[in-house]
Amino acid sequence: MKRKPTLFQAILPIIIMLLLLSIGFGVLKLRPEPLLILSSVFAGLITLRLGYSWKEMMDGIQEKISLAMPSILILISIGILIGTWMIAGTIPMLIYYGIQLINPQFILVISFVVAAIISIVTGTSWGAVGTVGVALIGIATGLEANIPATAGAIVAGAYFGDKLSPLSDTTILAPIAAGTELYEHIKHMLWTTVPAALLSLIIYFIVGLNVKSSSIESPLATNMIQELDMMFNWNICLIIPPLIVLIGAIKKYPTLPVIILSSIVAGITAMIFQKSTLQDVFLSTVSGFNVDMVSKITITEEEVMPEVLRLVNQGGMESMTSVTLIAFAAFVFAGIITTSGSLEVIIEKLLTVVKKTGDLILATVLSCLTMALVTGNSYLSIIVPGEMYKDTYKKKQLDPKNLSRTLEDSGTVVVPIIPWSSAGVFMAGTLGVPTLSYAPWAILCYSGFIFAIILGYTGIGITKLEEKSTQK
């Protein structure tokens, strides 16, 4: 006989998981995957006690994993993309010229804007971070700029673009979960996303004013430029792989085939211009790029600058293993607590205190943040609260696009600043900066939901259902 969990039974697995991650991961520096599995075991025992079978829990886990499979495949393909763009010299060329052309005072602003543009046209924040983000970190290293701040600006810009791109999976998913239209959702997000972006850019600009305006005196920049020039042959054709991605995004072609095509072209480019062997190109797609793969280099890997090694020795499908494992472990926990009905109990309790529009927006934000912290997954932080609050927004005569906007403000963009989330692990690993180090600088990722709450209580930017029908 299945029983509905009490509030204590519903919230206890979440408390246990947060304690395990905060102490085990945050303090003891243990790997998050076993901690998530231990949390799942505890949640599973409570679910069994409520009368659910092991098969029902497995069905819940399978449902969550199947939902994420398209994104996991894209994630793996990004590993291939980074490896092939490295061996082709595409990302090193962006670093090489970027160090010479970009003023250190504007590195934070430029990082935000460039990452945002690439993310908008490609529809993937991970792809933007894994390509131009890596190049921008390389430029910041050469300019001796604030690396955590640069990483935060890159992540914030990438998620700004991800939110507003009609090609983004989360941007498509949020209006579906809330029951509204895609382009209505995108336009409505401008109310919170634009202020958050402007706040970010103002802070980045002010911080940049305190930086030396010239990089000529930087010996690190000079040495990096020399070593990159010694390793790679520069040619205008090296920009063909990024152009393929941009054209594919503009034409709205499916993301996965476009990434694979760009990787194939990058591999061919590497063999033509860098004289790489076919074996090395294939190896770069699996294990990532290594400086030993460059035929032009005349020194050993031990003689290459550590800063250059950290930047170029990247990519490959194997580099995505840790992110994939965390995603699977998080989905196990999410599948179990969803099966037990724990999330419904928690959200129902939140709804009992909702009186005004601002209260409902606040409850939605808290629910999305809880889902993001618990599962570390942007899909679940959109889908579950979306399903739970959809009818409530209609009862309050609120247009569904208010819900879809809040789902993205407090779900999609928050996930990359959570250390144990797959996005947080990917960003930290790809950019070489710990999540907690760049998180304070990813201003858009936490200011968006603050603006959402402010608008909820002031009524600014809130559309009522009767207003929409009148406009029509």
Distances from the Cα of 20 to the Cα of 38, 40, 45, 285, 301, angstroms: 8, 11, 17, 35, 40
**pLDDT value for 299:** 64
Mean per-residue pLDDT, 395-400: 87
Least confident interval from 112-116, 324-328, 398-402, 464-468? 464-468
Q: Which of the pair, 422 or 26, is modelled with greater confidence?
A: 422
pLDDT score, position 152: 95
pTM as predicted: 0.71
pLDDT band at 454 (very low <50, low <70, confident <90, very high): very high
> Taking 80 as the threshold, does the pLDDT of residue 439 lie above it?
yes
- Cα 436 to Cα 18, 148, 292, 416: the distances in Å are 16, 9, 33, 10
Residue with tokens 């010996």: 219
- For the ranges 47-51, 226-230, 311-315, 416-420, the lowest mean pLDDT is seen at 311-315
User: Following DSSP, what letter does each residue of 292-338 receive, concatenated?
Assistant: GG-TT--S-GGGS-HHHHHHHS--SGGGGHHHHHHHHHHHHHHHHHH
Both tokens assigned to 430: 């790809």
C-beta of residue 333 within 8 angstroms of C-beta of residue 349: no
Query: 26 falls in which pLDDT band (50, 70, 90)?
Result: low
Interatomic CA distance for residues 108 and 153, integer angstroms: 6
194-221 pLDDT, tens digit per residue, is 999 999 999 999 988 876 655 445 676 7
Spell out the domain ranges in the chain. Answer: 68-320
Q: What is the pLDDT of residues 322-373, one digit of tens each?
A: 767 877 887 788 789 889 988 778 777 877 777 788 889 998 998 888 878 8
What gap in Å lies between CA 321 and CA 330, rounded to an integer? 14
Confidence of residue 458 (pLDDT cuts 50, 70, 90): very high
Distance CA 16, CA 23 (A): 11
CA 159 to chain centre: 7
Of 170-179, 254-263, 453-462, least confident by mean pLDDT is 170-179
User: For residue 298, what pLDDT is reported?
Assistant: 65
Q: Does residue 189 register a pLDDT over 60?
A: yes
Amino acid identity at 416: P
Q: What is the mean pLDDT of residues 173-177?
A: 76
Indicate the pLDDT class of residue 455, thresholds 50, 70 and 90.
very high
Condensed to tens digits (0 to 9), the pLDDT of residues 260-302 reads 999 999 999 999 999 999 999 999 999 989 888 887 766 666 7
Range with the poorest average pLDDT among 20-24, 167-171, 254-258: 167-171
Higher pLDDT, 41 or 166: 41
Angle at 421 between CA 112 and CA 445, to 5 degrees: 30
Tens-place pLDDT, residues 298-329: 666 677 777 777 778 888 898 878 767 877 88
The pLDDT confidence band at residue 451, using thresholds 50, 70 and 90, is very high
Give the C-alpha separation, 206 to 105, whole Å: 9
Q: Percentage of the chain with pLDDT > 70?
A: 92
Residue labelled with tokens 């092939």: 84
Q: So what's the pLDDT on residue 216?
A: 45
pLDDT of residue 367: 84
Q: Which residue has the tokens 């999540």?
A: 435
Percent of the chain with pLDDT over 90: 31
Distance CA 419, CA 366 (A): 18
Q: What 3-state class would DSSP assign to 160?
A: helix
* CA gap 85, 436 in Å, rounded: 28
Worst-scoring range by mean pLDDT, 42-51, 54-63, 125-134, 201-210? 125-134
- pLDDT top residue among 126 and 403: 403
Give 144's pLDDT tier (boundaries 50, 70, 90): confident
Among all chains, which residue has been given the structure tokens 């999609």?
412
